[in-house]
Structure 1
């Protein structure tokens, strides 16, 4: 398969220390690819190298079928990005900033500015100086600038920083629309796992500069299993009754207050009734399922998830 972005043993050293080490990424055309990792794990460094803002120490990057070199400038016209925090001419308005960007990019579609301002919900603020924008409004303007030329690739570093819940939902819908309707390929990082879970097609987990997992979200969902989570003040006694009275063996004691039951043949009500009748306090009992957050923390803490 030909990938729209591919890295081969991508490595970046600072003062002899590897901040990115032998990273092999495979981003397919039109997909939303999520980079996940703790702060300082190397996500932004990877994005900067893909955007040709930082030179790798070793390895190679292929973008749109071409190897990225120090003179790869033309490909940047086919890409949009926000790396770290978007920077603007603060005394100019949102519209003026976008006009300057279009001139710089050689893009002269007069309807494009109105279109993107509407997309990011800034049309009512187009005449306001950017210095008076909130962090969330600047983030919206950054996304508008990144997408205004309809790039083939969109690289967004923490794009929902500073947004309220409504703004996050709007951006989620926008990213999905850009991927599905415009065929854009989105590479984005986020520390908000729940958002990545809802929009990403593929995720890559980065830890200490190394890519430790690259996996389709559909494969993660196939691994997810439902379970009943029980909280009680006496897990030892509860575990005994669950096994002895209900004949359930597929369960796990997580800590001093929590049991997960993976055998769903016994209704929650019957489990709760049995425990209460045996003088065991049931603080809560709920049906749940493994999430991307479970998957992420299991990998970060040293191994694949097995369910």
Structure 2
């Protein structure tokens, strides 16, 4: 018996958006499955928000195709949006209405007949203490919570979120992380979010697409991120050339990093740094500094997009 493969929640193929001479999104291709949390990661201006706007039909692509919940995104399309929740850039609200009144308007616009959905989403986003406050009095973090509540009120099958943790304090970030994790893994909601914070993305997402200047630089499973933060043994000595010759003669792969440091990445050097030190002393090139270092995730991300040089680059 053949098992049916579920349709992708998002299918993007060769997506391009050009504004005059500016190429905002450059032949982007990606796929998001039900129950998956896919993060678009990139520096500010990388093309994340433009991509999200094309996914939601807010901006027409210059070329390429976008489908959401197995339907092609077109300007005249309307049926699929009842199953999609979204938050793009700054959350909008009626400033003179209360939090509850704002959500009540969304409930009616969504055609939801159960009035209790407002209370449910207030509790879900921790907004019960602020339910009767006017939206204009909310902090940035609680405004973000209200925007997320509006995106979730109709229990969508797909969530598209642009910087969902914006303005939240650490406790709020953790609450939203737990909420999104629960929606994806317990309820099968597909989630695409954008962020420029790798550490938070690594905790939350299933897969990460790293984009730079509108182009996909790398796509990676979040579980594999730590494998890309390679450890290395760095050595500082007054005679770098002599030290390199001695290390290579002993079978170590050593290179200069452009700052006068020798960098070794072979397993033997990493696990037996004391032997490396002894070797250099015997070669009359004693190290003045010797340490095992490892990039953190943000360093890895910045190296990928060229914001800082990779270890070993001159």
What is the CA-CA distance between 1:298 and the residue it aligns to? 3.6
What is the CA-CA distance between 1:236 and the residue it aligns to? 4.9
2:265 pairs with one of 248, 262, 266: 262
What is the CA-CA distance between 1:3 and the residue it aligns to? 1.8
CA pair 263-86 structure 1, distance change in 2 beyond 3 A: same
1:107 pairs with one of 98, 105, 112: 112
Taking structure 1 as the reference length, the TM-score comes to 0.83
Q: Where do 5+ consecutive residues of structure 1 fail to align?
A: none
Q: Is 2:207 the partner of 1:194?
A: no
Q: Distance in 2 between matches of 1:170 and 1:123?
A: 15
1:201–1:217 CA contact under 8 A, matched in 2: yes
What is the CA-CA distance between 1:35 and the residue it aligns to? 0.6
Q: Is 2:209 the partner of 1:214?
A: no
Q: Distance in 2 between matches of 1:285 and 1:37?
A: 31
Tell me, what secondary structure is at the counterpart of 2:220? strand
What is the CA-CA distance between 1:175 and the residue it aligns to? 1.4
Q: Distance in 2 between matches of 1:257 and 1:112?
A: 63
Q: Distance in 1 between matches of 2:27 and 2:89?
A: 23
Q: What do the CA deviations read for 1:123-164 (whole angstroms, capped 9, x no partner)?
A: 222121111111111111111111121101101101111122
Mapping for residues 6-155 of structure 1, pairs under 5 Å:
6-155=11-160
Aligned alpha-carbon RMSD (Å): 3.3
How many pairs were matched up?
301
2:234–2:262 CA contact under 8 A, matched in 1: yes
Q: Distance in 2 between matches of 1:77 and 1:15?
A: 33
What is the CA-CA distance between 1:6 and the residue it aligns to? 0.7
1:237–1:280 CA contact under 8 A, matched in 2: no
Q: Where do 5+ consecutive residues of structure 2 fail to align?
A: none
CA pair 106-267 structure 1, distance change in 2 beyond 3 A: same
